[in-house]
Homo-oligomer: A and B are copies of this chain.
Amino acid sequence: MATPRTRTRKPKAASPCETAGHDDLTGKEGADMPVIRLGYIQVRVTDMEEAVNHYSNTLGMKIMATGEGGPHMSPHGISPGKLTYLKAWDEWDHHSVVLEEGGVGLVKFGYKVSSADDLNEFERRVQRFGTTTQRMSKGENLAVGDGIRVTLPSDHVLELYYEMDYAGTETGALNPPPWPRDARGAAVPRLDHCLYTAEDPELDERFWSECLDFRAGERLITDPSDPELIGTWLFCGQTPHDVAVIKGPNGKLHHFAFLLEDWNAILRAGDVFGMDQVSIDVGPARHGITRGTTIYFFDPSGNRNEVFSGGYLSGPAFPPITWTADQLGRGIFYTSGEVNERFTTVVT
């Protein structure tokens, strides 16, 4: 049996970071970061056939299952109608994208944690934070085990779970080639992160940080002398971000992103989007924030997707980066320093 260990608040970092007061804002302590990653996202689509064609043929995901769904599968108590479950080629869990027929916009997203114990600990913290939680049982989501469902301060529905049926990657686990020979379209390897809007980004940043041990790698503030938080990019592992929150209406999604190998894969993806007449929002482009490269685009129903690549390695000791509002354009799109209106206003 493993030895229990206690966690105490870490003394203030010996290494002063340039973002004064950051530690106080995010309340970070030790290095326990047991949330693993964004595991799945469920969005509504107006036309299932068009949507499946987009995620399957254009993005290259594999259809894993379809279903009628049922009332229990919707956090809003409404029958979701038809559902389609898809998986990217380098993912080993059963699915990462769930399409729900009817409308547009985010239904919910799920983050995978490491164990039932972690789930219990997170539940305690979330309740202490004053947020509503609900237990969800195995099978409530197809192929997903027990978990908890949380309504964030910003009204988004977050599910935490530690088991999903294992499906295996397309390249397998025995002497695998570096990529699958029969990849289709943009051939996205995996789901990466999502970015949503919140009326009070600081409150949601506190939620992710205090309840789930996320850390803010980059923060966009109005101005250093009297800082108000406009956006925050939080990670739980070593990527630049696993979730991001920007100021905007509660309950809305800005985009969810798939990871690509590199800048060249961004070009190839863009070529596929051109061939398939995908509606492009912005890109190819370089981000200032995260240092990644990107294309933003819309699925046929209007949900904004991103293909994202690059960026640094973050991690527990990462010194957070501050962006000031006067450099907002450069932070979002580094090359031009300009952000189009659609990018800043359209959310679903």
Contacts of A286 in B (CB 8 A): 178, 267, 270-271, 274, 284
B288 in contact with A175 (CB, 8 Å): yes
Interface residue? A261 (CB, 8 A):
yes
A285 in contact with B288 (CB, 8 Å): no
Interface residue? A21 (CB, 8 A):
no
Question: In this complex, what residue of B is CB-closest to A18?
Answer: B173
Interface segment out of the listed A76-84, A115-123, A129-137, A198-206: A115-123
- Most B CB contacts (10 A, CB to CB) among A114, A272, A273, A322 go to A114
Interface residue? A102 (CB, 8 A):
no
Question: In this complex, what residue of B is CB-closest to A118?
Answer: B31
Interface segment out of the listed A8-16, A47-55, A226-234, A244-252: A8-16
A46 to B16, CA, bound (A): 36
Interface residue? A211 (CB, 8 A):
no
B166 in contact with A16 (CB, 8 Å): yes
- Most B CB contacts (10 A, CB to CB) among A113, A270, A335 go to A335
* Nearest 4 pairs of A and B residues by beta carbon: A15-B166, A31-B114, A270-B335, A18-B173
Interface residue? A258 (CB, 8 A):
no
Q: Which of B190, B264, B283, B324 contacts A313 (CB 8 A)?
A: B190
B275 in contact with A181 (CB, 8 Å): yes
A160 smallest CB distance to B (angstroms): 13
Given A264-B264, A310-B261, also A4-B7 (CB < 8 A): yes
- Most B CB contacts (10 A, CB to CB) among A166, A318, A322 go to A166
Q: Which of B121, B189, B239 contacts A238 (CB 8 A)?
A: B239
Question: In this complex, what residue of B is CB-closest to A13?
Answer: B166
Question: In this complex, what residue of B is CB-closest to A14?
Answer: B163
A275 smallest CB distance to B (angstroms): 5
Q: Which of A303-328 contact B (CB under 8 A)?
A: 310, 312-313, 315-324, 327
A175 in contact with B324 (CB, 8 Å): yes
Contacts of A262 in B (CB 8 A): 262-264, 310
Interface residue? A330 (CB, 8 A):
yes
B6 in contact with A114 (CB, 8 Å): no
Contacts of A139 in B (CB 8 A): none
Interface residue? A70 (CB, 8 A):
no
Q: Which of A127-150 contact B (CB under 8 A)?
A: 145
Q: Which of B165, B272, B338 contacts A280 (CB 8 A)?
A: B338
